Amino acid sequence: MTNYILEADASAADVIIMPVLEDKGLETAAKKLDKEFGSALSAVMSAEDFTGKKMQQSLVYTRDAKRPRVLLSGLGSKKELTVRRYKQVLGAAVIAVQSKKSQRIAVVIPETVLSAFGPYRAAKETAAAIEIGGYSYDEYRKPEARVLPLKAVAVTAAFDNRSKTQLIKGLADGALVGQAVNYTRHLGNTPPTVLTPTYLARAAAKLAQENPGLKVKVLSRPEIKKLGMGCLLGVSQGSAQEPKFIVLEYRQGNKKDPPLVLVGKGITFDSGGISLKPAGYLNDMKFDMLGAATVLGVMKALAALKAKKNVVGLIPSCENMPDGAAYRPDDILTAMDGTTVHVSNTDAEGRLILADALCYATRFEPKEVLDFATLTGHCRIALGSDRSGLFSDEENIVQKLTAAAETVGEQLWRLPLGEEYSEAIKSEVADIDNGGPSGDPRAGASHGAAFLQHFVKYPWAHIDMSCCYYTAKGKPWIRQGANGFGVETMVEYLRG
């Protein structure tokens, strides 16, 4: 675990990361560098080898034996400074210094960042960005090929007695949130031969064991059948792995307050079932449980932060496989609330298992329910790979979620619900159809959301994560694999 300390000046470190703005940020940085290291670093700027453009980096060697290297990292223009950009620049810098085998680093928080975000927010997002940037899933690689984890981070900032307290608190909270994001990422990156529904249930149980504020209950096939969760049972039929329904409760708020319920899709591998995916689309289907991993990451963060909230996490989990017992197109399944569902596509399985979870959520008399799911490829077609789709008729929830995402540097984009989508999922042989309008690929994300909406009787929002849940090749600020989307947004939403 990385150790964070706050200092007025950078202490002994393998490398100092100094984010620098264009414009007057260069002049300010140059003066600071002249004062601490002589003219060697500011000369790099005056020669225009480094101008502070976004993501520009320059590693400069000093004459200081205790602080031998400084990595100048460009933030771009001040008017374009956002939390998202700041965190990307820091993440890229961390990855760069790790490539130099650095494990003890110092990070300078510019005064412009402190002013723009406030001491607590600046420190929190700094620590979160460092944690997320430093993570690598490489445990199956040879030891010499693995990324060396950071051991110590000295954070340098200008502060007085009041801001010092906020900075220290921000660093501590940001590290915990970043670790929760990486926990989610690690679950998502784990191979599906290992991460089965049973493994996911054990991970939830371990999380509860490590955090006394959490309680867990795991339902197996007999209990699931007794509850009438016919959709979850139907999807799981083709797999040798037993389905699990995981219930996590965190009740540290006022006992009279109804809980917020989080629901996460937990398909630990999705072959498409009998409606088998084409070969190229089978890769990365281990990530189809990232909705579930997001819920677990949020619960981990809340417990670590000792948040005074009442939150319930629900995770329906199984594999979607195509053996001789698998559910078929034209089967009719019965959800927990008695709704009958005609199956026109076994690769539209996520909405089926979520339907039973949304029905189960009713027993908690929730304040509101938010679900997270890698639900539709249609959402990725609509939005690309940097925003997730947000569906809800609750204006207050939409506004709060959008604001929370922006605050932490994640991105949501509202997509439509409406009568036309609800009508389109009606079936001639059952109550509703899981595939939407037969043969019509248009508005698939909204049809999926409308299917889920059929089962809700409370304030609700659905986040379709299919757009931005992982990076196939990595980006300068985050390595390849699951990116932990949604954890930071939900922690901000719940605490805000």
Is 270 a known ligand-binding residue?
yes
**Longest Cα–Cα distance in the chain:** 79
Q: Backbone phi, then psi, for 184, in 5-degree steps?
A: -60, -45
Predicted pLDDT at 146: 95
Residue 284 to residue 473: CA distance in whole angstroms: 12
* CA–CA distance, 365 with 361 (Å, rounded to integer): 7
Alpha-carbon dihedral angle through residues 7, 11, 13, 17, given to the nearest 10 degrees: 50
DSSP 3-state of 273: coil
DSSP letter for each residue of 451-487: HHHTT--SSEEEEEGGGTSEESS-BTTB-SEE--TTH
Q: What are the structure tokens assigned to 333, written together?
A: 């399944």
pLDDT digits (tens, 9 = 90+) for 266-280: 999 999 999 999 998
Q: Is 394 annotated as a binding residue?
A: no
What's the rounded Cα separation, in Å, for the pair 417 and 374?
A: 18
| Per-residue pLDDT at 44 | 64
Which neighbouring-strand residues pair with 313?
248, 262
Q: Is 34 annotated as a binding residue?
A: no
Read off the pLDDT of residues 309-363 as tens digits, 9 standing for 90 and up.
999 999 999 999 999 999 999 999 999 999 999 999 999 999 999 999 999 999 9
Distance of alpha carbon 390 from alpha carbon 148, whole angstroms: 37
384: tokens are 């690309």
- Give the pLDDT confidence score for residue 28 in this predicted structure: 66
* Interacting residues of 446 by C-beta distance below 8 A, sequence separation 6+: 391, 415, 416, 417, 418, 421
**Two tokens, residue 377:** 């490829």
Q: What tokens appear for 400 in the block?
A: 């709060």
Q: Which pLDDT score is estimated for 488?
A: 98
Tell me the C-alpha distance between 331 and 170, whole Å. Answer: 52
- Note the pLDDT of residue 3: 86
The reported pLDDT for the residue numbered 346 is 97
Residue 371 φ/ψ, nearest 5 degrees: -115, 150
Query: What are the φ/ψ torsions at residue 239 (nearest 5 degrees)?
Result: -110, 145
Contact status, residue 336 vs residue 230, Cβ threshold 8 Å: yes
CATH-assigned architecture of domain 190-495: 3-Layer(aba) Sandwich (3.40)
Q: What is the pLDDT of residue 158?
A: 86
Predicted pLDDT of residue 11: 65
* Interacting residues of 309 by C-beta distance below 8 A, sequence separation 6+: 250, 252, 253, 260, 302, 494, 495
CATH number of the domain at 3-186, out of 3.40.50.2300, 3.40.50.300, 3.40.220.10, 1.10.10.60?
A: 3.40.220.10
Domain with CATH 3.40.630.10 in the chain: 190-495
DSSP string over 350-401? HHHHHHHHHHHHGGG--SEEEEEE---HHHHHHHTTS-EEEE-S-HHHHHHH
CATH 3.40.220.10 residue ranges for the chain: 3-186
Element (H, E) at 3: strand 3-7
pLDDT at res. 247:
98
Please tell me the distance from the alpha carbon of residue 357 to that of residue 247, in angstroms, as a whole number: 10
Residue 284 assigned as binding residue: no
On whether 492 is known to bind a ligand per the annotation, the reply is: no
Q: Tokens 């009438």 label which residue?
A: 228
Question: pLDDT tens per residue, the chain (496 residues)?
Answer: 788 888 866 667 889 999 999 876 666 666 666 566 555 555 666 656 788 899 999 998 877 777 788 999 999 999 999 999 999 999 999 999 999 999 999 999 999 999 999 999 999 999 999 999 999 999 999 999 999 999 999 999 988 888 999 999 999 999 999 999 999 999 999 999 999 999 999 999 999 999 989 999 999 999 999 999 999 999 999 999 999 999 999 999 999 999 999 999 999 999 999 999 999 899 999 999 999 999 999 999 999 999 999 999 999 999 999 999 999 999 999 999 999 999 999 999 999 999 999 999 999 999 999 999 999 999 999 998 889 999 999 999 999 999 999 999 999 999 999 999 999 999 999 999 998 776 567 899 999 999 999 999 999 999 999 877 888 888 999 999 999 999 999 999 999 8
- pLDDT, residue 54, reads 94
Q: How far apart are CA 372 and CA 351, in angstroms?
A: 11
Closest CA relative to residue 346, chosen from 417, 243, 270 = 270
Residues with active-site annotation: 277, 351
